[in-house]
Amino acid sequence: MMDIGFNIIERSGPKLFGEKLSIIEFLRGINDGGFPLNFAVTGLDALLYYAEDRDKISRYIRDILQDHANLLIKGNYIIQIAIEGTLHIVESFERPRIKYREEEFLLYPIFGRVKQVDAKHFLAPLNLLS
Protein backbone atom coordinates (compact mmCIF):
# COMPACT_ATOMS: atom_id res chain seq x y z
CA MET A 1 0.00 0.00 0.00
CA MET A 2 1.39 3.39 -0.99
CA ASP A 3 0.63 6.69 0.69
CA ILE A 4 0.24 10.13 -0.82
CA GLY A 5 3.73 11.55 -1.28
CA PHE A 6 7.04 10.41 -2.72
CA ASN A 7 7.31 6.66 -2.17
CA ILE A 8 10.98 5.83 -2.65
CA ILE A 9 11.33 2.16 -3.53
CA GLU A 10 13.65 -0.20 -5.31
CA ARG A 11 12.45 -0.94 -8.80
CA SER A 12 12.60 -4.67 -8.05
CA GLY A 13 10.37 -4.15 -5.01
CA PRO A 14 6.61 -3.67 -4.97
CA LYS A 15 4.79 -3.64 -8.27
CA LEU A 16 5.36 -0.40 -10.13
CA PHE A 17 2.44 1.66 -11.30
CA GLY A 18 1.56 1.30 -14.98
CA GLU A 19 2.15 4.99 -15.68
CA LYS A 20 5.89 5.72 -15.76
CA LEU A 21 7.77 8.96 -16.37
CA SER A 22 11.49 9.56 -16.47
CA ILE A 23 12.78 12.04 -13.92
CA ILE A 24 13.35 14.51 -16.77
CA GLU A 25 9.76 14.15 -18.05
CA PHE A 26 8.47 14.59 -14.52
CA LEU A 27 10.49 17.75 -13.85
CA ARG A 28 9.55 19.24 -17.25
CA GLY A 29 5.86 18.44 -16.82
CA ILE A 30 5.53 19.59 -13.24
CA ASN A 31 4.52 23.11 -14.34
CA ASP A 32 1.50 21.73 -16.16
CA GLY A 33 0.45 19.19 -13.56
CA GLY A 34 -2.12 16.85 -15.03
CA PHE A 35 -0.26 13.74 -13.93
CA PRO A 36 -2.18 10.53 -13.28
CA LEU A 37 -3.05 10.07 -9.60
CA ASN A 38 -0.56 7.22 -9.25
CA PHE A 39 2.64 7.09 -11.29
CA ALA A 40 6.27 6.01 -11.11
CA VAL A 41 9.29 8.22 -11.74
CA THR A 42 12.39 6.42 -12.96
CA GLY A 43 15.99 7.43 -13.55
CA LEU A 44 16.74 9.56 -10.48
CA ASP A 45 19.68 7.42 -9.46
CA ALA A 46 21.11 7.40 -13.00
CA LEU A 47 20.74 11.19 -13.21
CA LEU A 48 22.62 11.65 -9.93
CA TYR A 49 25.26 9.11 -10.93
CA TYR A 50 26.07 10.85 -14.22
CA ALA A 51 25.79 14.43 -12.90
CA GLU A 52 29.03 16.41 -12.81
CA ASP A 53 27.95 18.07 -9.57
CA ARG A 54 25.55 15.89 -7.53
CA ASP A 55 25.01 18.56 -4.91
CA LYS A 56 24.02 21.13 -7.51
CA ILE A 57 21.60 18.82 -9.35
CA SER A 58 20.11 17.65 -6.03
CA ARG A 59 19.46 21.26 -4.98
CA TYR A 60 17.97 21.99 -8.41
CA ILE A 61 15.54 19.04 -8.15
CA ARG A 62 14.60 19.97 -4.58
CA ASP A 63 13.98 23.60 -5.61
CA ILE A 64 11.65 22.48 -8.43
CA LEU A 65 9.75 20.18 -6.08
CA GLN A 66 9.47 22.90 -3.42
CA ASP A 67 8.33 25.50 -5.96
CA HIS A 68 5.54 23.18 -7.12
CA ALA A 69 4.57 21.71 -3.74
CA ASN A 70 1.10 23.32 -3.82
CA LEU A 71 0.33 21.77 -7.19
CA LEU A 72 1.51 18.35 -6.01
CA ILE A 73 -0.45 18.59 -2.76
CA LYS A 74 -3.58 19.72 -4.60
CA GLY A 75 -3.34 16.63 -6.83
CA ASN A 76 -2.93 14.22 -3.87
CA TYR A 77 -0.42 12.31 -5.96
CA ILE A 78 1.05 8.96 -5.01
CA ILE A 79 4.43 9.08 -6.68
CA GLN A 80 6.78 6.12 -6.75
CA ILE A 81 10.43 7.09 -7.05
CA ALA A 82 11.73 3.83 -8.53
CA ILE A 83 15.41 3.27 -7.81
CA GLU A 84 17.43 0.97 -10.08
CA GLY A 85 20.15 0.55 -7.48
CA THR A 86 19.66 -0.52 -3.90
CA LEU A 87 18.38 1.44 -0.93
CA HIS A 88 20.10 0.97 2.39
CA ILE A 89 20.54 2.61 5.75
CA VAL A 90 24.00 3.52 6.93
CA GLU A 91 23.66 6.24 9.57
CA SER A 92 19.95 6.84 10.13
CA PHE A 93 16.68 5.40 8.84
CA GLU A 94 15.65 8.99 8.03
CA ARG A 95 18.58 9.37 5.62
CA PRO A 96 18.78 6.31 3.36
CA ARG A 97 21.43 5.96 0.68
CA ILE A 98 21.27 4.74 -2.88
CA LYS A 99 23.96 2.39 -4.09
CA TYR A 100 24.09 2.58 -7.88
CA ARG A 101 26.92 1.18 -9.99
CA GLU A 102 29.23 0.80 -7.00
CA GLU A 103 28.74 4.40 -5.86
CA GLU A 104 26.66 5.66 -2.95
CA PHE A 105 24.77 8.89 -2.58
CA LEU A 106 22.21 10.34 -0.21
CA LEU A 107 18.58 11.17 -0.99
CA TYR A 108 18.54 13.67 1.86
CA PRO A 109 19.57 16.70 -0.26
CA ILE A 110 16.46 16.17 -2.42
CA PHE A 111 13.78 14.81 -0.11
CA GLY A 112 15.04 15.79 3.33
CA ARG A 113 14.27 13.39 6.15
CA VAL A 114 12.08 10.51 5.10
CA LYS A 115 9.94 8.02 6.98
CA GLN A 116 10.84 4.35 6.69
CA VAL A 117 7.73 2.36 5.74
CA ASP A 118 9.41 -0.98 5.08
CA ALA A 119 12.94 -2.33 4.63
CA LYS A 120 13.15 -0.95 1.07
CA HIS A 121 10.35 1.65 1.11
CA PHE A 122 10.71 5.23 2.30
CA LEU A 123 8.16 8.05 2.22
CA ALA A 124 8.68 11.79 1.82
CA PRO A 125 5.78 14.28 1.91
CA LEU A 126 4.77 16.16 -1.23
CA ASN A 127 5.50 19.38 0.67
CA LEU A 128 9.26 19.24 1.12
CA LEU A 129 9.18 22.52 3.01
CA SER A 130 8.00 20.76 6.16
Q: What is the pLDDT along the chain (130 residues), one digit of tens a residue?
A: 789 999 999 987 668 898 999 999 999 999 887 899 899 999 999 999 999 999 999 999 999 999 999 999 999 999 999 999 999 887 777 889 899 999 999 999 999 999 999 888 999 999 986 4
40 occurs within a structural domain: yes
pLDDT at 121: 92
pLDDT at 13: 63
pLDDT at 14: 64
Its domain, for residue 50, covers 5-124
State the total domains in the chain: 1
130 occurs within a structural domain: no
Start-to-end CA distance of the chain, whole Å, equals 23
66 occurs within a structural domain: yes
97 occurs within a structural domain: yes
How far is residue 107 CA from its own chain's centroid?
8
118 occurs within a structural domain: yes
HSE value, Cβ hemisphere, 13 Å, CA-based, for 54: 14
